[in-house]
Chains A and B, each alone.
Chain A
Amino acid sequence: MTPDQPACGPFAHDRSTVNRLMLHVCLALLPASLFGLYLFGWPAINLWLLTCAAALLSEAVCLHLLGQPLRRLLDGSALLTGWLLALSLPPWAPWWVGVGGSVFAIGIGKQLYGGIGQNLFNPAMLARVALLIAFPLQMTSWALPHPLGAAGTPDFLDGLRITFAGAAPLDGMSGATALGNLKTQLTLQRSASDILASDFRLLPSLLGYSGGSLGETSTLLLLLGGLWLLALRIVHWEIPLAMLLAVLLPAALAQQIDPLRYPGALYHLSSGGLLLGALFIATDPVTSPVSRVGRLIFGGGCGLLVYLIRTWGNFPEAVAFAVLFMNALSPLIDRTCRPRAYGRNPRGKPLVAASWTRRAKEVDKV
């Protein structure tokens, strides 16, 4: 090798590409998404299609404006952003919420930072928070489950009317999420155990027959997809585990101390977007730390914030806020928790074995 050629390490390639990564995450999301679409009917299907299409279209427009090749559209990252955003929206939201959110996510959340791999914040969650702040009314009207084909469910035309014409859902078709309901009822001096006993059923909540965002309701199907990703090593175990534990442990502890005020761990696990966030959103490789310790800190921070905001904050749900907050910290975490380089200790000094070898060489020379 001549000195002016760059040295090339003996790297092994595991055939993981952005394309493969994104496609597998989408596949893992498929069961929960299909269930969500089935559960919330035609308006949800319209919203999901629109949000994904708008994400792809905004990506294409941005790539064109930036003078980049359009084939980057095929890497699937824009599709995944739109998909995740759609799953985190109220299922019967009007069309402009989904489209506006996608344009914000891709245009401002991703391409303004420099495109794929450059964004500081998770684009889908950035758009979700922007939508929540900009349109609090639309973003907090939740449809109750109306499975496709069941009686009284909006048919295809009704679905179009709800999505595009802003037709108000009929009475009894909308309601509060479990988290929102708890928050309201607690202010009426009712005890948490009382509220949960009357309004909360664990099994339907785990299966997903409850009000909430499009794709976050079915805890079990999300877990299925997440475990598959974990088995493929596309998602590392540190962030989901740390995040779930950081919610469940304080919740269990608080319930032991005062069951009248604090709901338990299973309630937190099965409500809201905790599992979607822990398995699919916080684990975004671009916006999370690199090292194992860093990922544990990141996940733990997300979980703790979720619990704190859910319990004492103004908003009933907090996954998006928690993930964005920890996204902002992840460069700092990366700085403090640098992974050890091969052959060196964490401080960057050569390992004893290396120095021993050098000494041995010097001895050899003599």
Chain B
Amino acid sequence: MSHCGGAQIVVRQGKRPWQYFTDALWDYNVALVQMLALCPALAVTTSATNGLGMGLATTLVLIISNAIISSLRHVISPEVRNPLMIGIIAGVVTLIDMAMNAWTHELYQVLGLFIALIVTNCAVLGRAEAFCLKHPVLPSILDGAGSGIGFTWVLVLIGGIREILGSGTLFAQASSLLGVHFQWLELTVLPGFQGILLAILPPGAFIALGFLLAGKRVLDRRRAERRIKTHGELVVLP
């Protein structure tokens, strides 16, 4: 334990199973903290619907690949772990791609382009390498679900910001992704708005991500300062 500006620095000890899930949502967020998977996060998020679809598909891949790789962790030798893991991930992604194409074709027409890209998503390989090789199956599945949902909310947020600024709508065409029951999600936030084209184009993605990163840091700092003021301690994650 040490001191920092009068506050006691406490390293959080131990971990409950559900914390594997909750930590990945915010404190270890794949996109905002680990800075992984930025390629899909930037390329796909021209609308909130696209972000949601990509996020959900990635979550599914993360859960399945985490479970498989974690259950094989004793058998995998470190020297060949990368080709092995990439092979498994690519297989899972391709199977999901084929299954969606065959049986949920409506959804596939919206997401089809992005599914194959998940193979190259660093977050999937990153979680396999950093987590699944060292943890049993259940925490790996929880971590996969948490990372995936953490990734999803970031994608939906970036997509939402870009969509509102770029075309004045929110969750346009959500019903083709989620079904007709979700038509109420499709909002026209700014009617008659021509849109700032820059937000839809690639630079808009970088600018939105930059402001999101800065915003998260500001929130984190405020939270820590409030805790120092009330409890006189600064909790640090292991």
Contact = CB atoms under 8 A, between A and B. Distances in A.
A356 interface: no
A134 B207 contact: no
B207 A108 contact: yes
A262 B199 CA distance: 36
A133 B203 CA distance: 10
A135 interface: yes
A350 interface: no
B110 to A, nearest CB: 26
B197 interface: yes
A313 interface: no
A133 B207 contact: no
A135 B197 contact: yes
A136 B199 CA distance: 13
A284 to B, nearest CB: 21
Interface string A257-297: 00000000000000000000000000000000000000000
Interface string A127-148: 0001001111100000000000
A281 to B, nearest CB: 20
Nearest to A133: B198
A335 B183 CA distance: 56
Contacts, number: 16
B197 A136 contact: yes
Contact of A135 (B196, B201, B203, B207): B196
Contacts of B203: 130, 133
Interface in B190-233: 194, 196-199, 201, 203, 207
B211 to A, nearest CB: 10
A141 to B, nearest CB: 13
Interface residues of B, number: 8
B201 to A, nearest CB: 6
A135 B197 CA distance: 6
Interface residues of A, number: 7
Interface in A97-147: 108, 130, 133-137
A137 B194 CA distance: 10
A130 B201 CA distance: 11
A311 to B, nearest CB: 25
Contacts of A135: 194, 196-197
Interface in A37-59: none
Contacts of A108: 207
Contacts of B194: 135, 137
B168 to A, nearest CB: 13
B214 to A, nearest CB: 9
B197 A130 contact: no
A135 B201 CA distance: 12
Contacts of B199: 134
B212 to A, nearest CB: 14
A137 B199 CA distance: 16
Interface string B106-131: 00000000000000000000000000
Contacts of B196: 134-135
Interface string A170-191: 0000000000000000000000
Interface string A313-346: 0000000000000000000000000000000000
A136 B198 CA distance: 10
Contacts of B201: 133
Nearest to B210: A112
A137 to B, nearest CB: 8
Contacts of A133: 197-198, 201, 203
Contacts of A137: 194
A130, A133, A135, A136 interface centre (most CB from chain B within 10 Å): A133
A101 to B, nearest CB: 11
Interface string A19-42: 000000000000000000000000
A108 B196 CA distance: 16
Interface string B131-170: 0000000000000000000000000000000000000000
A290 to B, nearest CB: 28
A133 B194 CA distance: 13
A99 to B, nearest CB: 13
B190 to A, nearest CB: 13
Interface in A225-246: none
A51 B207 CA distance: 22
A365 B79 CA distance: 65
B213 to A, nearest CB: 12
A-B CB proximity, top 10 nearest: A134-B198, A134-B196, A134-B197, A133-B198, A130-B198, A133-B197, A133-B201, A136-B197, A135-B197, A108-B207
Interface of B: 194, 196-199, 201, 203, 207
15 contacts: A108-B207, A130-B198, A130-B203, A133-B197, A133-B198, A133-B201, A133-B203, A134-B196, A134-B197, A134-B198, A134-B199, A135-B194, A135-B196, A136-B197, A137-B194
Given A108-B207, A135-B197, 10 more contacts: A130-B198, A130-B203, A133-B197, A133-B198, A133-B203, A134-B196, A134-B197, A134-B199, A135-B196, A136-B197
